[in-house]
Amino acid sequence: MNSGASISSTSSYAILGCGSVGYAVAEELVEQGKDVRIIDQDESRVESLRDQDLDARAADISEPKIVELIEDRDVVLILASDVEANEAAVEHVRSANTEQFVIARASDPVSGDELAELGADVVINPSAVIADSALRALESGELEHNAQTLASIIDETTDRLAIVTKNNPDPDSIASAAALQAIAENRNVDSDIIYFGDLGHQENRAFVNLLGIELHLWEDVADETPYDTVALVDHTGQPGIDRPIDIVIDHHDADTEADPTFADVRPSMTSTSTIMTKYIQEFDLNVSEEVATALLYGIRAETLDFKRDTTPADLTAAAYLYPFANHDTLEQVESPSMSPETLDVLAEAIANRDVQGSHLVSNAGFVRDREALSQAANHLLNLEGVTTTAVFGVAEETIFLSARSKDIRINIGKVLTDAYGEIGEVAGHSTQSSAEIPLGIFTGIEITDGTRETLLELTEEAVKQTLFDAMGVEGSEGSNGN
């Protein structure tokens, strides 16, 4: 490959092989006012091209003399349907030691590799290009159809739309709900964002407060009757609302018995914020600064700042949102102050850490803010020699566990599923995951005020050992990492 070659706006072009592909390219370049020379061995075709006032010459592109006909060209497009002729042409051009930029047509991955080895700067496979174009057209058509269906359901709302996030909502869920609320508002439909559980993590609280996103705890909703349309957005598990579900939008297969009228579930997407950004674009909304900032942060949070499972769709969505977002607000959200509760949990987790190899597990004891466990797991991941962390604590008669890993050999979501999937609830990704386990599951002892401390002591070793076993740690001596 000629790494020094490049294309400028004033480049001159040679097209070798002018079948249907070559002619389509030539036509487009001429339309753009480019200087194009066409080489083809079919003399009648060459005459026809000349009749169209094109610079066309008859020659066999597989012959060495082809180099002389194109030596003054900056860019050479070798586009014959005969791949062997294309390979010969690439070889002749490169053997002439020119600095020309060479684009060559392949017929399959094998011929593509061969053309690249011969020195083609870019290799194209028309079949793959057509397939990719067809898939993009399909995706665009599906999005248009889904947007129309979603709009019709929203428009049928006579009172209010309830937009339900996941329990203990994270930035992706909150941002996606805010985007759906903006779509509903644009269609003159009133809506509320509903959540269950806690909004405990400092980043989440800062996120909601700084962007002015109004969330309603379901238990605090005085009158549930106005919600005649219900949407689940980035919501895993059961909805917690005893009424039919109309809309489900998620990037995970939802573990729910809901049978919605409309569902857009895309496991291939890394974040629901990416999906909602596509809808914002499809509806051609003038996205507000608050919603754009929320969606951009939702994508960044879910992809760990584009370091985890990032797709082209995530990047294009982020690029679209970037000019509309408030980056000072993003910086404030990402650097919230640490609460005393989080500091206490972190201190407890540091003191009780058990390190086996590069894996760390720690018991933070009884906690009031279970979101502090995830922050402790993140902080402990910075310890020297540690690649995987898991911090657990007890709240509401449940063991809550948060895990993180930067070890590419470990899928921490699968680790927690193997360890606790049959006895608790597990959710997460390859690099971060969480689990909820009934406190008495390891002992069978009934939970009372008098037995809670004893239960924690009895379950601590069982929780640790089960987790270390799932991580593949065998026979290692534990330490506190000193």
The pLDDT tens digits for 304-342 are 788 777 888 899 999 999 999 999 888 887 766 667 778
- State the pairing for strand pair 398-405/388-395: antiparallel
The residue among 124, 151, 170 that closes a domain is 124
> For residues 460 and 162, what is the distance between their CA atoms, to the nearest angstrom?
40
Residue 476 lies in a domain: no
> For residues 380 and 387, what is the distance between their CA atoms, to the nearest angstrom?
9
Same domain, 384 and 407: yes
Q: List helix spans (H) across 352-435.
A: 372-380, 412-420
Same domain, 248 and 294: yes
Residue 2 lies in a domain: no
Does residue 467 carry a pLDDT above 70? yes
Residue 329 identity (one-letter amino acid): T
Residue 96 lies in a domain: yes
Q: Is 448 exposed, middle or buried (0-12, 13-18, 19+ CB in 10 A)?
A: exposed
Does residue 175 carry a pLDDT above 60? yes
Residue 60 lies in a domain: yes
Q: How many domains does the chain fold into?
A: 3
Contact predicate 57/43, CB 8 Å: no
Same domain, 211 and 228: yes
Same domain, 43 and 172: no
Same domain, 327 and 457: no
Instruction: Specify the pLDDT at position 457.
Output: 75
Residues 6+ apart with CB under 8 A from 207: 171, 174, 213, 294, 297, 333
Residue 478 lies in a domain: no
Residues 6+ apart with CB under 8 A from 430: 308, 309, 405, 410, 411, 412, 413, 414
Instruction: Specify the pLDDT at position 65.
Output: 92
Contact predicate 373/428, CB 8 Å: no
Same domain, 260 and 361: no
Same domain, 228 and 178: yes
The pLDDT tens digits for 276-297 are 999 999 999 998 999 999 999 9
The pLDDT tens digits for 12-30 are 999 999 998 899 999 999 9
Instruction: Specify the pLDDT at position 84.
Output: 94
Mean of per-residue pLDDT scores for the chain: 86
Instruction: Specify the pLDDT at position 450.
Output: 66
Contact predicate 41/60, CB 8 Å: yes
Torsion, Cα 196 197 200 201, to 10 degrees, reads -70
The residue among 333, 361, 378 that closes a domain is 333
Q: In a 3-state reduction of DSSP, which class is residue 458?
A: helix
Q: Residue 359's domain is classified under what CATH number?
A: 3.10.310.30
| DSSP code per residue over 186-208 | HTT--EEEEE-S---SHHHHHHH
Residue 290 CB coordination number (10 Å): 19
Residue 305 lies in a domain: yes
User: pTM for the full model?
Assistant: 0.62
Same domain, 345 and 281: no
In 3D space, the residue among 318, 331, 211 whose CA is nearest the CA of residue 271 turns out to be: 318
Burial 41-62 (b: 16+ CB within 10 A, else e): beeebbeebeeeebebebbebb
Strands of the sheet containing 359-366, edge to edge, are 353-356, 359-366, 388-395, 398-405, 432-438, 425-428
The residue among 277, 298, 333 that closes a domain is 333
366 pLDDT band, cuts 50/70/90, is: confident
Between 23 and 205, where is the model more confident?
Answer: 23
Instruction: Tell me what percent of the residues of the chain surpass a pLDDT of 90.
Output: 47
Q: Which domain holds residue 63?
A: 12-124
Instruction: Specify the pLDDT at position 10.
Output: 59
Q: Residue 232's domain is classified under what CATH number?
A: 3.90.1640.10
476 pLDDT band, cuts 50/70/90, is: very low
Q: Is 314 left (phi over 0), alpha (psi -120 to 50) or beta?
A: alpha
Same domain, 89 and 54: yes
Same domain, 282 and 384: no
> For residues 96 and 91, what is the distance between their CA atoms, to the nearest angstrom?
9
* Distances 305 to 144, 300, 372 between C-alpha atoms, Å: 29, 4, 21
Does residue 8 carry a pLDDT above 80? no
Instruction: Specify the pLDDT at position 130.
Output: 81
Torsion, Cα 255 260 262 266, to 10 degrees, reads 10
Residue 95 lies in a domain: yes
Same domain, 355 and 444: yes
Burial 71-90 (b: 16+ CB within 10 A, else e): eebbbbbbbbebbebbbbbb
The pLDDT tens digits for 91-129 are 999 998 778 999 999 998 899 999 999 999 999 998 888
Same domain, 318 and 190: yes
> For residues 171 and 304, what is the distance between their CA atoms, to the nearest angstrom?
12
Residue 262 lies in a domain: yes
Q: Residue 48's domain is classified under what CATH number?
A: 3.40.50.720
